[in-house]
Structure 1
Amino acid sequence: MDMSNHQDLGKTLEQSRSGLRDNHRRSLARLLFLVTGSVLMVFASLQLFNGYAWISALEVAAAGLLFFGTPRLKNTPHLGKWVYGYLIALFSFFIAIMLVPDASVAAFVWVLIMPVLAYLLLGKREGLILSGPFMLLGCVVFYFYLGNIGSAASMIDLLNMVLCGCLMQVFMHKYEARREEAEQRLVEVAQTDAMTGLANRANFQSTLARTIAESERSNTAFVLVMMDIDHFKIINDTLGHDAGDYVLREIGRCLQERLRTTDFVGRLGGEEFGLILRDVRSEAAYELMEELRLRIAGRELSYGDADIQVTASFGMAQWPDDGREAEALFSVADQYLYRGKRAGRNRVASPCAQLSPGVV
């Protein structure tokens, strides 16, 4: 059984709620820190020549903090706090610059970049919560900056600012919502076996690894089961691959109907399925698999004019008795599965064979 490393896509999706994978988010944050710090140093020099020494000092201090944080973003476990601190300080700085007497009207364009940075680094919900109030505050500051808006020209300037801000906010919110939906669909496709709708091999392996980690922490046993449809090749050879696909879908449906909500099932490839039975010992797992075996054997499958009789063989491995690592569990379950096949198929092969008469 190939146990090559597969990324846990569920965890990846959680990490990408900010619009970026975690490593990309870190890289972007480092770039923003570096660029912002460099730009602040330039503006600090200009502000000093412009007569605003206090602003220059603040910009130099902020640049120093950004340069200090840039290399630490690569591995810090507190990336979210760094991002929030950066965005809140940056947005506050934008507002402060706009409040400076004789501020350039061009300073107000920085308000429009707020939702872009917030949604990209924080995601839809947190991006809205952070950027919304700052955008509103920016529009209010611009209103007071204009002073008398009785003239048509001043009203046009205010409307341009408000409308552009609203459009930018709505656009980023819609974009992020669509991106999340699209990524969710992609992750589901990447995790799902297209034929049966069950978890695919990569998803099953990542779930098994996560189950082992959880069991190590809680010291709770679970059982890994390998299941194989008996004589599946004969179905494909005699009735065609469409009939074989139909059988796979029906077996997948049967597995989903019988298993508990805490259990997990996936198609590992071909006619082979894997099951993870959580919080259970071999004896109880055997009874469940024996019931499932009988359920499959008694299921009447009709494909066109043909009635298809299907049976399945099962091999079981108990964690941690049969191994603490995924490779060891797969090996033991495989051994019992093929022991059951050699003994005549349509049976459950288990390490607790001596406890149940008739079991392999």
Structure 2
Amino acid sequence: MLNNLDQNLQYRRSVMRVMLLLVMVGGATFSVINFYRGLWSLAILEMIFAFFAFFLWRKILYISNFQRWVSIFLLPFFTTMVYAMYVPNTSVSIFVWIIAIPMISYLMMGRVQGFWVSIFFIVSGVSVYHYRFIEGNSVIDIADSLNIILGACLMISLAHVYEVNREKNEERLLELASTDTLTGLANRMKLKENFTLYAEYAKRHKSSLAVAIFDLDYFKKINDEHGHHVGDATLCYIANFIKDRVRKTDLLARFGGEEFVLLIVGSKDQDCYKQVDSLRQQLQDTPFIYDEVTLAMTVSAGIATYGNDGLSLDDLLLKADRRLYLAKDNGRNCVVDGSKESEIKNHN
């Protein structure tokens, strides 16, 4: 998911670079024209923006604080557009740039900031347009005024609808990309993303964080005896069984095959063990019935804790996986954490 968001930001950077190129060329061209026409203040502003656009054009693909630089450039740029229309002897065609403000704002600033920026500068632009170019109350003037206002409203509406739908589609694609297609649980990508957030929270608030790996015992036997469709139904059953019995603050993900990973937040080591072992016991006591086939299922599990067993997800998964296989070697249908691992090794 994070990679997709990075790609979206890179897309905005590329679009911004194209716009900067146009501003750079257009600003320099209009600056020369307005110097020739004697519009000194406007010509100087346009030349400044041409140089500023050149500066950003060279750095925008990798510059940090991208959104801040977008605002630093666009807000004065839009202000200059409105000012250019206010200056005497400028052409009415400048209003074409005012109409483009909503699309630029939404595309580069997002829905919320883009909306308010569009409203402010469109209202300012329309007001200046009426001050400069609408001189009387004739039918033509009224028609011109209505066309300008309706055209501006249309551009804001189209930009807003486009951005709202783009955000919804992006959220849907990101959700699909982070969801296991069979069980509907989080997949590895979402597991990694959430672990990063949980680890930052645990470190900041000195809270506990544990990683538990569940593995269905004798899953291959279910597939061999009853078929893969029963195996798939079994995995969905286990996914829903565990998900319905964990806290909303915890995250359950399918790790692959018949393995599931549970991130447990804010529980002490002993409480984590009790929670995972309770899930194991409940699953053992609740057979799965599918198409007149009754399946008594058990799981083995290994638990690793943040800090004691590692600081990265890979380290914790490796430690939990080793304890999982220790549980398998110890007869299956049991849970092994740090303390149980020591007991088993001392006993052996």
Taking structure 1 as the reference length, what is the TM-score of the superposition?
0.88
Q: Is the 8 A contact 1:282 1:352 kept in 2?
A: no
2:120: which partner in 1? 133
1:86: which partner in 2? 73
2:332: which partner in 1? 345
Between Structure 1 and Structure 2, how many residues are aligned? Answer: 346
Q: Is the 8 A contact 2:249 2:265 kept in 1?
A: yes
2:228: which partner in 1? 241
- 1:262-305 alpha-carbon deviations (Å, 9 max, x no partner): 22110011111011112334322111111110111112322121
| Letter of the structure 1 residue corresponding to residue 275 of structure 2 | L
Picking from 119, 129, 137, the partner of 1:142 is: 129
Please give the alpha-carbon distance, in whole angstroms, between the structure 1 residues aligned to 2:310 and 2:90. 70
1:3: which partner in 2? none
* SS of residue paired to 2:182: coil
1:4: which partner in 2? none
Picking from 288, 302, 312, the partner of 2:289 is: 302
- 1:303-344 alpha-carbon deviations (Å, 9 max, x no partner): 121122111110111222222233222221111111111222
| Letter of the structure 1 residue corresponding to residue 110 of structure 2 | G
Picking from 165, 170, 174, the partner of 2:157 is: 170
- Structure 1 residues 53, 148: closer, same or farther in 2, change over 3 A? closer
Residues 274-353 of structure 1: matches in 2 within 5 Å? 274-353=261-340
Q: Which runs of 5+ in 1 are unaligned?
A: 1-6
1:204: which partner in 2? 191
Picking from 241, 245, 249, the partner of 1:262 is: 249
Please give the alpha-carbon distance, in whole angstroms, between the structure 2 residues aligned to 1:34 and 1:312. 60
Shift, 1:354, TM fit: 6.7
Matched, 1:189 2:182: no
Matched, 1:8 2:2: yes
Question: Alpha carbon RMSD of aligned pairs, Å?
Answer: 2.4
Shift, 1:129, TM fit: 0.7
Shift, 1:244, TM fit: 1.8
| Letter of the structure 1 residue corresponding to residue 133 of structure 2 | L
Higher relative contact order (CA closer than 8 Å, sequence separation 6+): 1
Residues 55-66 of structure 1: matches in 2 within 5 Å? 55-66=42-53
Shift, 1:218, TM fit: 4.4
Shift, 1:216, TM fit: 4.2
Please give the alpha-carbon distance, in whole angstroms, between the structure 2 residues aligned to 1:198 and 1:288. 19
2:35: which partner in 1? 48
Q: Is the 8 A contact 2:323 2:341 kept in 1?
A: no
Q: Is the 8 A contact 2:103 2:159 kept in 1?
A: yes
* SS of residue paired to 1:125: helix
Q: Is the 8 A contact 1:302 1:308 kept in 2?
A: yes
Once the two structures are overlaid, the 10-residue window that deviates more, 259-268 or 114-123, is 259-268
Q: Identity across aligned pairs (percent)?
A: 30
Q: Which runs of 5+ in 2 are unaligned?
A: none
1:118: which partner in 2? 105
Q: Is the 8 A contact 1:8 1:203 kept in 2?
A: no
1:24: which partner in 2? 11
Please give the alpha-carbon distance, in whole angstroms, between the structure 1 residues aligned to 2:214 and 2:264. 13
Please give the alpha-carbon distance, in whole angstroms, between the structure 2 residues aligned to 1:333 and 1:246. 26
